[in-house]
Amino acid sequence: MDNSQIENTITEIRKRSGAVTAFNKDKISNAIYRALAATSKADRGVADKLANDVVNKLVEQGFTSSRSPTVEDIQDIVESTLIDSGNSDIAKAYIVYRHERRKLRDEKMKVLNLKTLDPVSKKFDLNCLRVLASRYLFRNSKSEIIESPTQMFERVAILVGIGDMLYDSQIFDKSGNNKQDIDEAKSYLEKLDAFDYKFKVGDYFFNKWHFRALINHYVTLASKGQMKISFKDLLTLLAGKKLEVYADKITEYFQMMTAQDFLPNSPTMMNAGGRLGQLSACFVLGMNDGMEEIMKSTSDAALIFKSGGGVGINYSDLREEGDIVASTSGVASGPVSFMNIINTVTEVVKQGGKRRGANMGIIEAWHPDVEKFITNKTEAGVLENFNISVGIWEDFWHALVNTTDGNYVLRSPRDKKPVKEINAHQLIDLIALSAWKSAEPGLIFFDQINKYNVFAKARQAPLRATNPCGEQSLYPYESCNLGSINLVNLAKRQADGSYEFDWQGYEEIIRKTTRFLDNIIDVNNYPVPEINVASKESRRIGLGVMGVADLLYRLKIPYNSKEGYELQSKLSEALTYYSMEESVALANARGEFPLCAKTEYPEGKIPVSGYYEKPKDSHSYEWDPLIEKIQKHGIRNVLTTTVAPTGTLSMIADCSNGMEPAFALVFEKRVTVGRFFYTNKILEEALKEEGLYSDEILEKIADNYGSLKGIEEIPQWMQDVFVTAMDIHWADHLMAQGVWQDWIGNAIAKTINMPYDVTVEDVKSAYLLAHEIGLKGMTVYRDGSRHKQVLHMTNENATKTFDVSPSDYMTEYVTTKITNPYIKSQVNAALALKVHDEEIKLEPPKIEEVSEDRLCPTCKNNLVFVEGCSICIECGYSGCTSG
């Protein structure tokens, strides 16, 4: 029977849910092909022939266009067809495949509390769904999940689409010459329940929280005179289906997320279309030296934690411990004591019922309490809800690298008078020792952050604080919305089986996601009024990436090679170039950010170091015409790009974290029946293509610290391409962060991984090199350095039988680019190759050493340390707020 006869005979099938869908013979062929592949007989021609036989049998059994077969009918006939055709081994593989699919279906339904699987649940793998279930899906008062993943992504997409809708030419007028009754619009906030699911565009209904966002967005624009019509007329347009075109926008945003091509930061997915409605991951608060101001900041921090955000605070304006308080004739207790208050508040206020908040605590190097601050967290149990960093300015750096004696003056925050003199070398040694011991503090280079800070002129102050993971510098009360593009999905398979990067697709998604994040600013329900004002004054967004390591695996390019660095540099440059270009287009249509005219943008300056510091002939894009466009039209967002931690987001997107290398290619999970291995999917494909895939080889990789290095059976090209965090020398971790930082407007979340046997001098040299490369901040993580080790591996037999050295690219950089004699001598000494004749045997902590606070609070599995945060590789819990 030919295909046209088949299609005329059987047109539909009945699914398990009772729904009817179009019959598609290709689905039968694909299922048989997977069974063939399982028996190493993958043959598309054989699969197609057997699929034809199945359809003929269906027709023989009386199935027609009026009597549709069920999914089970088809699967039963597939089994009998395979057996009748003499393919009993394939039939067995198909039966096993069918059984495994049923088990997986049942497990997914159990995890999601669903009776039938929705389209997203069918597509996403079980681990992705576990993460969604544990943190993102709405629950009722009994903590039962009450929405499907499809519904979750729809509520996010609808809210973002509302952001676009009010800029429609029927409604919006950029000139600001319109007067509307704002109180009339605000009156609808009192009757949200009455408008729950009353309005829609296309098939997308607005719930009452979507409706609230519509009202608030309207009020903001009407307050600036930009609404041409009354709020009632807007509702009339909606009811009259005059805005249906925005259903396509909503679908576009929905598909971008469900295709795992892009995800916004966690608070957006948790809260969009919900009561909290708070969508930002990053916040910074001021902390001025007065009890009222301190308590106001503490109260604001609590509201931010409650709404799902994390807070960065610079405590340097608080007077030092022991200083006289004039109003009471008492003695100041110092910044660290006030950090303890915020730490307690964080503990008490659980974010949106999901997790505790995260904090960044900063003290600048000139503060008299800086030494106490540095050593504070080396003790277990102190400030556990904080990341801490020391802020560095030009004066400290000058004392460290350009003076012979290294003398440096600590000053009172109260009047800036000298309090005491210390040695800059001793202070950096103390920081390095503490980071060597406990992975803290990090360093924030405020001189680098402010070097191209075009916004400082408008704020009449430099940037002095970052969000909890350090990648987002902000002024007090600013917030930032982050989102990450999954780069591995842009690797497109060619006819010869190799992969190429889709640069055109990259440009398209950068433009769409820039608009997505800009819309988030308008539909966000900010936790504090001052944050609403400051966030809309700058309209700062942070578009970033994830899946970098997986992309390089796909393209067969080593992460720490010249080719790897050049590709990463171009990816970074494209990200900022196209997002800024799209931001200019948005400014042209919607208006520049309110403070744009007061910044350095009109002077032709941009916040991108690569434009100034990389030779023009090495630029991949034409920046000068873009700068001219900014001068003509303004720009919608003060900064547009940030590479954030994507711990849980990358689990949902099923890709590697941020721009980090993979921390392990294979790692072990012990279950009651024995050992089970998680394997990087791209490595798994490569091992199968090479005929190497087996439990034995996976065990070898897991026992080799998750690395391929030095395993005889693994071809050299694979050892070179599939590098992990521990295969890459710490100097190359810095270089990778640096090539991204050249072009990123904000900063990068990256952990500089170091092996357990590095010295304190190595850590100090890493600081010197980081500043020289142009990083805005850095976090060092020496394997085994935390008081209660966050395990990289769960296998206590893991050994590392290889040593790593800096890449030629890194060595050449040090040789040719570093000119300061002190920095050059320190870095050269640290990078001198260490020859190891004997095998290096690492002794990771035994599993029983892992205390409760280093286990996942959700599922009690071991946490791992990635991008400056602890994350759970089992359920997706993250200690950071952005991902």
User: Tens digit of pLDDT for each residue in 262-313?
Assistant: 999 999 999 999 999 999 998 999 999 988 999 999 999 999 988 888 899 9
C-alpha atoms less than 13 angstroms from C-alpha of 804 in its C-beta half-sphere: 27
Query: Do 436 and 331 belong to one domain?
Result: yes
- Tokens 């010459």 correspond to what residue? 177
Q: Which domain holds residue 245?
A: 149-257
The pLDDT mean for the chain works out to 89
Q: Residue 9 has which token pair?
A: 């005979």
Q: What is the dihedral of CA 158, 163, 168, 171, to 10 degrees?
A: 110
pLDDT at 727 exceeding the cut of 90: yes
pLDDT at 119 exceeding the cut of 70: yes
Give me the mean pLDDT over the 559-573 stretch: 98
Query: Do 453 and 348 belong to one domain?
Result: yes
Give me the mean pLDDT over the 813-817 stretch: 94
pLDDT value for 795: 54
Q: Residue 420 has which token pair?
A: 């005491």
b/e map 513-542, b = 16+ CB within 10 Å: bbbbbbbbbbbbbbbbebbbebbbbbbbbb
**From CA 324, how far away is CA 112, in angstroms rounded?**
58
Of the pLDDT bands very low, low, confident and very high (cuts 50, 70, 90), residue 730 is very high
Query: Do 668 and 621 belong to one domain?
Result: no
Bond before 441 cis per omega within 30 degrees: yes
**From CA 158, how far away is CA 232, in angstroms rounded?**
20
Give me the mean pLDDT over the 558-571 stretch: 98
Of 469, 655, 875, 880, which residue is the catalytic one?
Answer: 469
Q: Any idea which of 41-45, 138-142, 563-567, 669-673 has the lowest mean pLDDT?
A: 669-673
pLDDT value for 790: 38
pLDDT at 791 exceeding the cut of 50: no
Judged on CB neighbours under 10 Å (0-12, 13-18, 19+), 727 is buried
Q: Any idea which of 85-89, 158-162, 309-313, 333-337 has the lowest mean pLDDT?
A: 85-89
pLDDT value for 839: 36
- Tokens 């996403």 correspond to what residue? 124
Query: Do 434 and 382 belong to one domain?
Result: yes
C-alpha atoms less than 13 angstroms from C-alpha of 524 in its C-beta half-sphere: 35
Please choose, from the candidates 296, 277, 651, the residue with its C-alpha nearest in 3D space to the C-alpha of residue 481: 277
In a domain, 464, yes or no: no
In a domain, 712, yes or no: yes
Please choose, from the candidates 212, 737, 469, the residue with its C-alpha nearest in 3D space to the C-alpha of residue 220: 212
- Residue with the bigger pLDDT between 672 and 392: it is 392
Q: Give the C-alpha distances (Å, rounded to integers) separating 788 from 357, 471, 736, 874.
A: 21, 25, 28, 19
Of the pLDDT bands very low, low, confident and very high (cuts 50, 70, 90), residue 840 is very low
What total of structural domains would you count in the chain?
5
Query: Do 81 and 170 belong to one domain?
Result: no
Task: For residue 622, give every residue at least 6 positions away whose Cβ sits within 8 Å of its Cβ, in sequence order, or none.
Answer: none
End position of a domain, from candidates 413, 429, 459: 459
Query: Do 385 and 290 belong to one domain?
Result: yes
In a domain, 471, yes or no: no
Q: Residue 67 has which token pair?
A: 């009597």
Other CB atoms within a 10 A radius of the CB of residue 88 amount to 11
**Amino acid, res. 697:** I
**From CA 321, how far away is CA 305, in angstroms rounded?**
28
User: How far does CA 142 lie from the centroid of its chain?
Assistant: 30
In a domain, 187, yes or no: yes
Q: Residue 221 has which token pair?
A: 């624009």
pLDDT value for 858: 62
Give me the mean pLDDT over the 822-845 stretch: 63
pLDDT value for 361: 95
End position of a domain, from candidates 590, 617, 633: 633
Known active-site residue 407: no
**From CA 673, how far away is CA 867, in angstroms rounded?**
33
pLDDT at 1 exceeding the cut of 60: no
Query: Do 127 and 154 belong to one domain?
Result: no
Give me the mean pLDDT over the 561-580 stretch: 98
Query: Do 313 and 359 belong to one domain?
Result: yes
Give me the mean pLDDT over the 244-267 stretch: 97
End position of a domain, from candidates 74, 101, 135: 135
pLDDT value for 843: 44
Of 359, 387, 453, 467, which residue is the catalytic one?
Answer: 467
pLDDT value for 120: 96
Query: Do 105 and 209 belong to one domain?
Result: no
pTM attached to this predicted model: 0.91
Please choose, from the candidates 204, 206, 233, the residue with its C-alpha nearest in 3D space to the C-alpha of residue 218: 233
Q: What is the dihedral of CA 715, 720, 723, 726, to 10 degrees?
A: 100
Give me the mean pLDDT over the 341-367 stretch: 80
Work out the angle at residue 859's Cα, subtended by the Cα atoms of residues 101 and 139, and round it to the nearest 5 degrees. Answer: 75
Of the pLDDT bands very low, low, confident and very high (cuts 50, 70, 90), residue 10 is confident
Would you say 697 and 686 are in contact if contact means Cβ atoms under 8 Å apart?
Answer: no
Would you say 795 and 854 are in contact if contact means Cβ atoms under 8 Å apart?
Answer: no
Please choose, from the candidates 139, 110, 137, 115, the residue with its C-alpha nearest in 3D space to the C-alpha of residue 126: 110
In a domain, 95, yes or no: yes
pLDDT at 640 exceeding the cut of 50: yes
Q: Any idea which of 167-176, 409-418, 726-735, 865-874 has the lowest mean pLDDT?
A: 865-874
Beta bridge partners of 751: 779
Query: Do 700 and 745 belong to one domain?
Result: yes
pLDDT value for 801: 62
Q: Give the C-alpha distances (Å, rounded to integers) separating 501 from 7, 456, 548, 552, 553.
A: 38, 37, 12, 10, 12
pLDDT at 799 exceeding the cut of 80: no
Known active-site residue 467: yes
Q: Any idea which of 49-63, 584-598, 720-734 has the lowest mean pLDDT?
A: 49-63
Known active-site residue 852: no
pLDDT value for 91: 82
By percentage, how much of the chain surpasses pLDDT 70? 89
Of the pLDDT bands very low, low, confident and very high (cuts 50, 70, 90), residue 846 is very low
Q: Any idea which of 102-116, 331-345, 455-469 has the lowest mean pLDDT?
A: 331-345
Query: Do 455 and 494 belong to one domain?
Result: no
- Residue with the bigger pLDDT between 38 and 551: it is 551
Of the pLDDT bands very low, low, confident and very high (cuts 50, 70, 90), residue 818 is very high
Q: Residue 233 has which token pair?
A: 């007329």
* Beta-strand pair 869-872/863-866: antiparallel
In a domain, 340, yes or no: yes
In a domain, 737, yes or no: yes
Of the pLDDT bands very low, low, confident and very high (cuts 50, 70, 90), residue 328 is low
- pLDDT tens digits, residue range 654-712? 999 999 999 899 987 665 556 678 899 999 999 999 999 998 999 999 989 899 999 99
Judged on CB neighbours under 10 Å (0-12, 13-18, 19+), 631 is middle
Name the DSSP letter for residue 641. B
Q: Any idea which of 47-51, 164-168, 323-327 has the lowest mean pLDDT?
A: 323-327
pLDDT at 13 exceeding the cut of 50: yes
Run of H or E including 479: strand 479-486
pLDDT at 848 exceeding the cut of 60: no
Would you say 125 and 867 are in contact if contact means Cβ atoms under 8 Å apart?
Answer: no
pLDDT value for 327: 60
Name the DSSP letter for residue 169. T
Judged on CB neighbours under 10 Å (0-12, 13-18, 19+), 670 is exposed
Other CB atoms within a 10 A radius of the CB of residue 111 amount to 18
Query: Do 336 and 401 belong to one domain?
Result: yes
In a domain, 472, yes or no: no
Angle between helices 424-438 and 394-401 (to 10 degrees): 100
Beta bridge partners of 310: 282
